[in-house]
Amino acid sequence: MRSGVTVVIPTYGHADFIATALDSVLRQTLAPDEVWVINDGSPDATDAAVAPYLPRIRYVVQNHQGVSATLNRSLEWVTTDCVMFLASDDWLEPNALEVLYAGLKAHPEVGVAHANRGKWVNGVPLVKDAEVLHYGVYTDLPRLILRYSVYAPAVLWRTAALHEILPIPPYPYCQDWWMSIQVALKGWPFLGIEDILGHYRRHEGNTTHPSRLGEIVRDEIAMLTELVNSGQLSRALVDVAERAISDRQRVLAWRCVETGQYEEARRLFWRLAQERGGRVNAAAGLLASWMPRTLYLWSREVRRRGA
């Protein structure tokens, strides 16, 4: 009997973790109809790590194309009603697919079911990562545009909703946020579930590791800017998106100060200084951007200790 669910695992350089991801999928109380592993040109021993699972999964090896291209390609093969994209360094609770799929089955109008997640930092568990903002069926485009709130890995998409928004553009760090916004713009409600159904692993090899914060924020700004210019948003939602851009420009500006990119920091803080409500923060940033870096880092450490 078919379950109606496909799990797609894009992978790049996660040979040390992918067995945990696969074991968690293959022990689900609701067995997926198909499990696809797409090796996006990994330079490590992913082939060997996946080999023991080959009788039970479909395995594709391709030249490195990036996650968005990989997701677009995978959606050409998915024939089930629902699909989960599982990062190859994350894993699921045994009942994750059963609970998420039951939610979508009970609410045929819903395009995405998502749950809370646990977070592990260098092997140490945190009780819960960021909290799902809404439980039950909801629509909240302003909050979704302001900040990403659909936390992988416990996310199950209705395939029909995804086919309405293809192709997924090549945002290397925030393609999943773009997907959520676009599905919501198409009129699909979301379903938030309180249970912790998946686990996110933070490690040095993460695509979204904090060391890449500058790159991540630039990608988010680019995505939000294109959204503002797309003509898809009402005037009220444009205002929300512009506020989200300003928030990320502020984060990027301070990141530039921390990394010694003072010219870009000054440009960003000067722009923020023109905006209502951001002048105090911008003035502090401009001052910091002219400090010797050692003095700034010392003052930041003093502030952290004082907090």
Range of the domain at 187: 5-202
Q: Are residues 124 and 23 in the same domain?
A: yes
Q: Are residues 145 and 255 in the same domain?
A: no
Q: Are residues 188 and 234 in the same domain?
A: no
Q: Are residues 124 and 140 in the same domain?
A: yes
Q: What is the pTM of this model?
A: 0.86
Q: Are residues 87 and 186 in the same domain?
A: yes
Given 202, 233, 256, the domain boundary residue is: 202
Query: For residue 21, what pLDDT band results from cuts at 50, 70 and 90?
Result: very high
Given 202, 234, 250, the domain boundary residue is: 202
Q: Are residues 154 and 277 in the same domain?
A: no
Q: Give dist(CA 285, CA 131) in Å, integer.
A: 30
Q: Are residues 160 and 179 in the same domain?
A: yes
Least confident of 141-150, 192-201, 246-255: 246-255
Given 202, 227, 247, the domain boundary residue is: 202
Check pLDDT > 60 for residue 293. no
Q: Are residues 194 and 214 in the same domain?
A: no
pLDDT tens digits, 70-103: 999 999 999 999 999 999 999 999 999 999 999 9
Q: Are residues 51 and 93 in the same domain?
A: yes
User: How many domains in the chain?
Assistant: 2
Check pLDDT > 80 for residue 302. no
Check pLDDT > 70 for residue 299. no
